Structure 1
């Protein structure tokens, strides 16, 4: 009877309680574009730009734009458009909202997947080496074009980024040489005050002239996210464009790992138990976190007791992909088990709920 009452209570009030997910990117199906006027020709171009930006934000996949279905949708945006309007601030903006189910189907048709709205917050340590070989760390208040373009590219792709303040605390801990040499123990210690999900180190410098390399500038980057490590490099003739190129490249790698496709016609089922759910509100919030993950079709509460809730997920995706999406949530932490049986792990799992701060 107690379990029944809890289930009934969840159904009655689930829609009234917000989820407090870490770094939840909002307005994934909306975008706004700066325009000069409300002329019809400019409006049509801006709506195409808005849809293209929305698809990029959802997938992190530049190649999706090349698919014929996407090209067709971009040629006639009206079929996906819910509403649009103009916003006058310092500049004139066109704001557009697109139909989520239709956009999701378009992405599926293009053979890509959707990246959940829970995105890792990245702290960026960027060192720029000038032509005279002097080096400078970029601070949060920097107005340098390379920093502003990086921020714009991250915003366009729906990834929250920040730069260190480079105040006394930072400069006493991390030197330009530390960042340039990627002394990660030092960098991670200084980064802890910002509580980021991942730490990015970007180095910008002139390239060595060669027959193969015609670009004048290069940026190499590393990303530490939990136990994962990525690295890459980008080049360009203009130094100021490399911040945007670097963040676009590393975001593409992140999205490739975390976006979830729903091409499979097979529905998988997976049970997981979430512990430390000490309140009804936490239990509802946990269910909403699970339901927000793309390709999860249904979340059923099987039972609750001793501050633990057991759910069954119906999914149109591999369990491994769902695990990766859950990994990005600060509120669900896996509980290590001694079992090495992969089949058992694919049937059920245990997580611990962490209340948002």
Structure 2
């Protein structure tokens, strides 16, 4: 074997090792504004309100499904014309700069029913946190999209992820980050450098972007997302930086919906047994039932048996066992345990 081949093999093995370590222990957070929208409006007149109700519902459909094309389905397009029926309430607010904003809140159950009628998946509210390294190159040079170096790009990135319902973690871009990775390494999208620099943020998903502004004002670049040990890539040419960062958020959302999206059009619900150890008090049991019962994929939770600190539950869910496990394990209080001989379903240690 040649020296070059050996080096390539070693580099590949190191990357797979780093990627495997990175894939363990995904960090997640509850997205609590999925069914809310906040839009700039021209005024408080009826026409502006009507347009905002429609735009707000379209945004909510995208956040709830993870699909940017969700508002284009026939059922959704019809619902947008009657967006008032999905609206719980709204209020206006004025910013210091004089801009008028409209806050809208939509009916969660009605929106989920619309997803069902549209044949769209429901992306559950507990969603993986996504660590995002972004390097921009323009007339000011090449730099990270940090608050200090590129505040506008930082704001645009945050806005894109918020409108897609993707929890975003931006690196601190402090001295530790500067020592771990340079803008040049991030621009080259070096797998080893990105993973190594991201170790301090362990638990978050990993996304890397690079984008350059061309002389005509357009933006061209690439996104790379580490998905279970392999990179997913997307190139983008956009009229604006906002459109480019939207593409990054959409890449992440599309990937995560494949793993956590619930198929609402399934004809029958499935029933599974969950065995949990570490349930040492009535309070533990109450919290446990509340946590499981609040998952969008779960229809009901029924206790079957209690022995010492171990409880057995019968869970009715709108998804298969593998996906149910992925959704449950986003909550780090559920520590997976191996099944005992003859045992089926899922088994966890409950840690509060």
TM-score range, shorter chain: 0.7 to 0.9
What SS is found at the alignment partner of 2:127?
coil
Work out the CA distance in 2 between the residues paired with 1:140 and 1:184.
Answer: 24
Cα shift readout 1:111-152 (whole Å, capped 9, x = no counterpart): 0021111011111111224479x5322224454443322211
Q: Is the contact between residue 147 and residue 243 of structure 1 (CA under 8 Å) also seen in structure 2?
A: no
Q: Is the contact between residue 164 and residue 249 of structure 2 (CA under 8 Å) also seen in structure 1?
A: no
Task: Please give the TM-score of this superposition, normalised by the length of structure 1.
Answer: 0.80
What is residue 312 of structure 1 aligned with on the other side?
A: 314
Quote the RMSD (CA, aligned, Å): 2.9
What is residue 135 of structure 2 aligned with on the other side?
A: 127
What is residue 154 of structure 1 aligned with on the other side?
A: 161
Cα shift readout 1:237-287 (whole Å, capped 9, x = no counterpart): 445632222222222222233210221221210011123344543433332
Structure 1 residue aligned with 2:58, among 52, 60, 67? 52
Cα 1:184–1:333, aligned 2, differ >3 Å: closer, same or farther? farther
Work out the CA distance in 2 between the residues paired with 1:141 and 1:285.
Answer: 42
Work out the CA distance in 1 between the residues paired with 2:230 and 2:323.
Answer: 15
How many residues get paired? 323
Moved more, 38-47 or 188-197: 188-197
Task: Name structure 1 gaps, 5 residues minimum.
Answer: 1-20, 208-213
Moved more, 68-77 or 136-145: 136-145
What SS is found at the alignment partner of 2:326?
helix
Structure 2 residue aligned with 1:99, among 107, 110, 119? 107
Work out the CA distance in 2 between the residues paired with 1:353 and 1:322.
Answer: 16
Q: Is the contact between residue 93 and residue 101 of structure 2 (CA under 8 Å) also seen in structure 1?
A: yes
What is residue 345 of structure 2 aligned with on the other side?
A: 348
Q: For 1:193-232, what aligned pairs fall within 5 Å after superposition?
A: 193-205=200-212, 217-224=219-226, 227=229, 229-232=231-234
Structure 2 residue aligned with 1:285, among 274, 287, 290? 287
Q: Is the contact between residue 86 and residue 93 of structure 1 (CA under 8 Å) also seen in structure 2?
A: yes
* Displacement over 6 Å in runs of 4+: none
Structure 1 residue aligned with 2:243, among 241, 244, 248? 241
What SS is found at the alignment partner of 1:269?
strand
Work out the CA distance in 2 between the residues paired with 1:268 and 1:287.
Answer: 18
Moved more, 115-124 or 145-154: 145-154
Task: Please give the TM-score of this superposition, normalised by the length of structure 2.
Answer: 0.81
What is residue 5 of structure 2 aligned with on the other side?
A: none
Cα shift readout 1:20-62 (whole Å, capped 9, x = no counterpart): x951110322222222321011000111111111111100112
What is residue 164 of structure 1 aligned with on the other side?
A: 171
More strand as a share of residues: 2
What SS is found at the alignment partner of 1:200?
strand
TM-superposed CA distance for 1:335, in Å, is 2.3
Cα shift readout 1:59-86 (whole Å, capped 9, x = no counterpart): 0112221122111111011221222222
